[in-house]
Structure 1
């Protein structure tokens, strides 16, 4: 085996160049040596240095280098619709006095431009108190409780506010870190800010960073608003926009101290392509060919047999069975009026249209390394998982069909649940369906996977069900 001659130090250098999700979901499955290297703090420290997340001269050490890396990869604004581009969606209106909340375009009457030209709109209050809020579920956003407790990353709150030039106003902000039971662990409640009439109307930012808040934080409550101070009918109160909550593991970087030359980096890149080229050679071997004492066997077989489950390679690997309406399409997560999937590595999905769209894969078990003897004598469990979601503004229908087939492609066993209908106005969160085939008897040689659906409103475009992260795993 050509891979066995590469020193562990060289492998660590090579693997540190691989994207994080490929390390966990692909490279880690190759063999026990690669698994141990990828599980080591040294690999993730090296990767953080290469990605510019930490200086080689830094004296600070995070509790877990891998978590530190993934917290940076996941970094995003957890507040949805922070710039009023989707009306009041995702916001809970707690108080709506006077002439109620309203959305206006920047710069607004007697206002100033916003520092970021990408921000086009703002929320504006009236002469009675107006408050709105969002409750962020950290687990649902991809931050597991044990990660939050172990790392306790900084939680950075930012909000922008401004007044009209011709009217005074008042601004309030309240942020709470909550436990699983939604009891307050720590809070930020600054004094009310009063802006006098005839101010310069420039936008101001308020920022707070939660640190060392202890274990147990599972939710973040963000609440802001205000009113005008002269009780004028209309919308003369405080204006707010571009609010943000970021989970920040900290900055350990000092840029400009990289010592690798261009030639050294180029050599490493060539080496990684050389090594990864042989992964499929290893994976394609059957258990009988490898032998039960070979360390590659358990890691090469237990893997996802679906090719291109995350739409990273267009429609390669898939057979389009039905392509109705405006046909299948690939979109970036979370998509219009959608939600992020809990898996932070999944960045794309397949989406259907207003007529039935279905696609499939036929898995040849022998080609995937599962010999007839393994399938007939051991009958390992076959676990099927598929993820699907709809848009908030349109209903959709999802379908799934799984068949275990014989050598002649006759159906031996089948899983064909009733179509799942997601009504208009649903929360658009990703859902998954799982089925396990066990004790299915001898003769299984192929697995047929088919899924898809459509929207239920027959709207032109891509308003149908979304699917991604499909998997077929044989539990060797």
Structure 2
């Protein structure tokens, strides 16, 4: 219910429209104590918040965008209004973002057609090889040659320069090679970007011999066109190691540059063998392979923002259509006079910026006479100041200038506006950075009201309104981070994380899914055999982040879900039992339905077993989940019940 005005004043036209109705006139006359703003009335102090947020100048909005996460800016900022959409889509915004984060062009003569795409490709730079450190066995790799005793994956024994490396690929006594084909277009790099920019393509591979056996190492990397014909290749000579070598890790690196147009794929092949033909795995060891697309010049080192003084050019002249703000310094203060002297500090998003202005803290946005006296005490300062224009100095009797005429001074925002900003920033940013700015902001971030309002806006409602949380922030984050507490529920990691309770017949087996599942993300299933097969997981709720007081006071819903299906040509049985346990792992409450049986020649459809634990009482600390089954015809193989996509979820808020 607010008209766009210059500054924060009501126009005479709006006064006329408001007084046109006799009822409105009488109502207004009945409140003589209420202050009316006329065109000549100075701005009231800004801390007396009227519910109207001032129209921010373009430069301030751009600065906010530059300090928010880029995903937020694109996904939300563009939807607000036409002006914001144009600002988010502008070349200047993303060019400035690249400059601040250190993404410089390797060749300044080649400017991107789309600076936003260039920024995101730099931001999301990553290793394009799947499973480069053998954490998933040989998954993701195509075995080209598998000689001798074949490829093998083992835990690392010789320390690697990268401490994150825990596994290695090992070769045998005949040639072992493996490969990956990387589709650059599917990885997000457009054809026009690849052809116009020809970004650096960096190759890296680590290899090491055994000290007691000679070995050979081979690598070949090719850049391919759309028809998978080679455009450029890197194929160094074979690296050989003698027996009784130093057994150190070596790195093979190469950078493809100026390779021409048409590159669409990268084909990476490496491997080797031992040279003494010993049975076992005495050949070359490889791990931590990398293929990276580098849109920006690596010769420029990215400099993170720090709290140390550093002159910044916030807005380049003409680039964003705005004047240059100078003498900006990173500083921990926010919307308050900075202790470093003579500047106003502004904190927006991730960084704190102090903008130079000869302005002291006042009620509203006025210079006091005391500040004028202190500044003019020196004759040199007085003469310098007289030589400059005095425009943009706000006197006590001068009304607020229109806000779109940005003077480099950002007003002291009222708490309501700061709180509104907090409600629209990511919660992790608010907690990790907002609390560190000043005492007032810390109290605001820790307040119950902020997180209660956040819960209300995002739809996290209490299931029982009589039970209010002791800690609304904890309640909010538990709702926000709601997730499946079972590990490896869809068999993507084989039987990892599951404890095998019974392993009858031909034992548990993991296979690719054949019968389509309602959840398209499900790709694997667990299959039982002709004697009972059961497996379990024990979930420690305290370790998962749910405090004892929260569990006892709130007793949030605990939702159980499990999918199971029979084979159509064989009868089978399905069993499930879920228990809520106390600290000593004694059962408080259990869900154990009757065995579900399927006859031979059934419809072979997926079925879902669900249950919700409610009002189970205090003391719950663990959830014990057990399920499984068998076939009923005792056929050798895996004809028993199939299970997948099991779930255990804590639901702090009412799902209704």
Q: Same fold (TM over 0.5)?
A: yes
Does the Cα contact within 8 Å between 2:225 and 2:263 map onto a contact in 1?
Answer: yes
Q: Does 1:203 align with 2:249?
A: yes
Deviation of residue 143 (structure 1)?
2.8
Aligned to 2:190: 144
- SS of 2:194's equivalent in the other structure is helix
1:396/1:182 Cα in 2 relative to 1: closer, same or farther (>3 Å)?
same
Does the Cα contact within 8 Å between 1:397 and 1:464 map onto a contact in 2?
Answer: no
Deviation of residue 397 (structure 1)?
6.5
Aligned to 1:471: none
Q: Does 1:48 align with 2:93?
A: no
Can you give the 5+ residue segments of structure 1 that lack an aligned partner in the other structure?
282-312, 321-326, 340-390, 400-418, 426-452, 467-476
1:156/1:454 Cα in 2 relative to 1: closer, same or farther (>3 Å)?
farther
- Which aligned pairs between 1:199-238 and structure 2 lie closer than 5 A? 199-238=245-284
Does the Cα contact within 8 Å between 2:132 and 2:290 map onto a contact in 1?
Answer: yes
Q: Does 1:262 align with 2:443?
A: no
1:317/1:274 Cα in 2 relative to 1: closer, same or farther (>3 Å)?
same
Deviations 1:6-31 (A, max 9, x none): 33233222211121111211101222
Can you give the 5+ residue segments of structure 2 that lack an aligned partner in the other structure?
5-51, 305-309, 313-327, 335-345, 350-409, 425-454, 463-480, 494-509, 526-560, 566-575, 577-624, 628-642, 648-656
Name the structure where strand makes up a greater proportion of residues: 1
Deviation of residue 318 (structure 1)?
8.0
2:210 alignment partner, one of 149, 164, 171: 164
Does the Cα contact within 8 Å between 2:155 and 2:167 map onto a contact in 1?
Answer: yes
Aligned to 2:239: 193
The separation in 1 between residues aligned to 2:511 and 2:102, in whole angstroms, is 38
The separation in 2 between residues aligned to 1:222 and 1:254, in whole angstroms, is 28
The separation in 1 between residues aligned to 2:192 and 2:253, in whole angstroms, is 26
Aligned to 1:424: 524
Q: Does 1:24 align with 2:74?
A: yes
The separation in 2 between residues aligned to 1:318 and 1:188, in whole angstroms, is 55
The separation in 1 between residues aligned to 2:562 and 2:192, in whole angstroms, is 38
Deviations 1:261-316 (A, max 9, x none): 234984151789959959999xxxxxxxxxxxxxxxxxxxxxxxxxxxxxxx9x95
Deviation of residue 106 (structure 1)?
1.7
Aligned to 1:383: none
Aligned to 1:329: 483
Does the Cα contact within 8 Å between 1:397 and 1:455 map onto a contact in 2?
Answer: no
- Which aligned pairs between 1:273-288 and structure 2 lie closer than 5 A? 277=420
Does the Cα contact within 8 Å between 1:157 and 1:245 map onto a contact in 2?
Answer: yes
Larger relative contact order, structure 1 or 2 (CA cutoff 8 Å, min sep 6):
1
Deviation of residue 175 (structure 1)?
1.0
Aligned to 1:177: 223
Does the Cα contact within 8 Å between 1:16 and 1:50 map onto a contact in 2?
Answer: no
Does the Cα contact within 8 Å between 1:397 and 1:421 map onto a contact in 2?
Answer: no
- SS of 2:60's equivalent in the other structure is helix
Deviation of residue 168 (structure 1)?
1.1
Does the Cα contact within 8 Å between 1:186 and 1:213 map onto a contact in 2?
Answer: yes
Aligned to 1:8: 58
Q: Does 1:132 align with 2:286?
A: no
Deviations 1:178-204 (A, max 9, x none): 222222222211111111222101000
1:144/1:196 Cα in 2 relative to 1: closer, same or farther (>3 Å)?
same
- Which aligned pairs between 1:62-81 and structure 2 lie closer than 5 A? 62-63=111-112, 64-81=114-131
- Which aligned pairs between 1:326-475 and structure 2 lie closer than 5 A? 329=483, 399=518, 422=522, 424=524, 455-456=563-564, 464=645
Does the Cα contact within 8 Å between 2:101 and 2:303 map onto a contact in 1?
Answer: no
1:87/1:263 Cα in 2 relative to 1: closer, same or farther (>3 Å)?
closer
Tell me how many residue pairs correspond in the alignment: 326
The separation in 2 between residues aligned to 1:120 and 1:420, in whole angstroms, is 32
- Which aligned pairs between 1:102-117 and structure 2 lie closer than 5 A? 102-107=152-157, 112-117=158-163
Deviation of residue 258 (structure 1)?
5.3
**What is the TM-score when the length of structure 2 is the normalising length?**
0.43
Cα root mean square deviation, aligned: 4.4
Deviation of residue 125 (structure 1)?
0.8
The separation in 1 between residues aligned to 2:646 and 2:227, in whole angstroms, is 33
Deviations 1:359-415 (A, max 9, x none): xxxxxxxxxxxxxxxxxxxxxxxxxxxxxxxx996789765xxxxxxxxxxxxxxxx
Does the Cα contact within 8 Å between 2:492 and 2:523 map onto a contact in 1?
Answer: no
Aligned to 2:372: none
Deviation of residue 69 (structure 1)?
1.4
Deviation of residue 141 (structure 1)?
2.6
Q: Does 1:90 align with 2:271?
A: no
The separation in 2 between residues aligned to 1:204 and 1:25, in whole angstroms, is 44
Deviations 1:68-120 (A, max 9, x none): 2101221121111111121111111110111111122222xxxx321122212
